[in-house]
Structure 1
Amino acid sequence: MSERRFDPSHMEKLDNPERRKALPPEKILATLEIRPNDIVLDLGSGTGYFTLPAARLTSGKVYALDVEPKMLEVLEQRVKEQQFNHVELVEGKIEDIPMENNQVDRIIASFVLHEVDPLSKGIREIRRVLKSGGRCLCIEWKKKPTEQGPPLAHRIHSDDMKKAFEENGFQIVHFAYPTEAHYIIVAQK
């Protein structure tokens, strides 16, 4: 496992009441403007914090991609419990998304792009799989010390993240600071 990758033994941190209060998934997903038939890809889906709410917003396919099989096992159980038949689990890396070009309408990249090395390759992959006019929701840690989150050296400043998207042909359509520790970017292809 890469030193940048989230340790699956801490998966309980991914979905807890404090996180839901600070970053309510439904409210954050509203910035992505998921339409009723959109095809959605959740990068680094983990245990489904955004996958499951996204599946409630669309009847289109929702792909949940994660590099860690243990995360996908937990998510598979949650998908079965909620009886979603349009969620597909995909094991893979953001640097090499195992999907066809121009396949999805919306992408969720929640707290995962700081793990991608190099970042530019991950953003090129996002662009490759997005349809024209498609959007990517990026949620990341501010580049400042906080009690939780990745080491400061792994964090990407919001200005650098915006620049990385723009240099790869995206237009920033939304930017916000939902908490003192996080930022949100919505980038359109």
Structure 2
Amino acid sequence: MNDKRFDPARIARLDNPERRKKLPPEQLLDLLDLTGSEDILDVGAGGGYFTFPAAERTRGTVYALDAQPEMLEHLKSRMPERTSGRIEIIQGEAEQIPMEDAKVDAVICSMVLHEVDPLEQGLREIRRVLRQGGRALCIEWERVETESGPPLNHRIASADMAGILEGMGFKVLSRQPWTEAYYSIVFEK
């Protein structure tokens, strides 16, 4: 197992009122400019922090991808009846997404890219599964010391992330801080 990966035993930390204040999923999803018919991939879906709000915004399918079966079991146990037909759970790695080319219109990768090794392989996979003109929302830890979160050497500074994305042929549409610890980047294929 990747030593950067989040410990499933700490899943309660992923969805709590304090985190929702700092990283409101609805406001972050607004950055994708969804129209209501997109197929969406949530990479590192965890317990569904973005999966469920995304499913409320589209008539398309939301694919919840996570490498850890414990995370997906937790997500499945929380799946509301009204979205159960529109959420498809997929176990797999970001570095080898088990999905055909050009399958989705949007990708959400929240607090997961710092775990992907190598990062460029995960980004190539995101590019592969995105349809032309598709958008992705990256939410990550800024490379600063904080009381919680991954070690500093696992974090990717927002300027570095934007440079990597552009170097891989993505168009960076926006980059903004959410707190001193978190940032978002929206990019397009």
Q: Name the TM tier (shorter chain).
A: over 0.9
SS of 1:121's partner is helix
- In structure 2, C-alpha distance between the alignment counterparts of 1:63 and 1:47, rounded to whole Å: 13
One-letter code of the match for 1:26?
E
Alpha-carbon shift at residue 168 of structure 1 (Å):
1.2
Partner residue of 1:173?
A: 173
Alpha-carbon shift at residue 80 of structure 1 (Å):
4.0
Residues 15-34 of structure 1 mapped to structure 2, 5 A cutoff: 15-34=15-34
CA deviations 1:41-63 (Å, max 9, x no partner) are 00000000000000000010100
Alpha-carbon shift at residue 35 of structure 1 (Å):
1.8
SS of 1:55's partner is helix
Partner residue of 1:86?
A: 86
- Under a length normalisation based on structure 2, what TM-score does the superposition of the two structures give? 0.98
One-letter code of the match for 1:95?
E
Asked if the contact 1:107/1:136 (under 8 Å) is kept, the reply is: yes
The answer on 1:154 being equivalent to 2:154 is yes
Alpha-carbon shift at residue 164 of structure 1 (Å):
1.2
Alpha-carbon shift at residue 163 of structure 1 (Å):
1.2
Residues 94-133 of structure 1 mapped to structure 2, 5 A cutoff: 94-133=94-133
One-letter code of the match for 1:79?
M
> Between Structure 1 and Structure 2, how many residues are aligned?
189
One-letter code of the match for 1:34?
L
Partner residue of 1:12?
A: 12
The answer on 1:61 being equivalent to 2:64 is no
SS of 1:52's partner is helix
CA deviations 1:93-150 (Å, max 9, x no partner) are 0000000001100000000000001111010100000000001100000101001110
Asked if the contact 1:41/1:104 (under 8 Å) is kept, the reply is: yes
Asked if the contact 1:55/1:84 (under 8 Å) is kept, the reply is: no
Alpha carbon RMSD of aligned pairs, Å? 0.9
SS of 1:27's partner is helix
- Under a length normalisation based on structure 1, what TM-score does the superposition of the two structures give? 0.98
Partner residue of 1:49?
A: 49
**Percent identity of paired positions between Structure 1 and Structure 2:** 53
- In structure 2, C-alpha distance between the alignment counterparts of 1:55 and 1:159, rounded to whole Å: 30
The answer on 1:186 being equivalent to 2:173 is no
Alpha-carbon shift at residue 155 of structure 1 (Å):
0.3
- In structure 1, C-alpha distance between the alignment counterparts of 2:81 and 2:178, rounded to whole Å: 30
- Structure 1 unaligned residues grouped into runs of 5+: none
SS of 2:47's partner is coil
Distance 1:83 1:162, change over 3 A: closer
- In structure 2, C-alpha distance between the alignment counterparts of 1:83 and 1:120, rounded to whole Å: 32
- In structure 1, C-alpha distance between the alignment counterparts of 2:128 and 2:163, rounded to whole Å: 18
Alpha-carbon shift at residue 81 of structure 1 (Å):
4.9
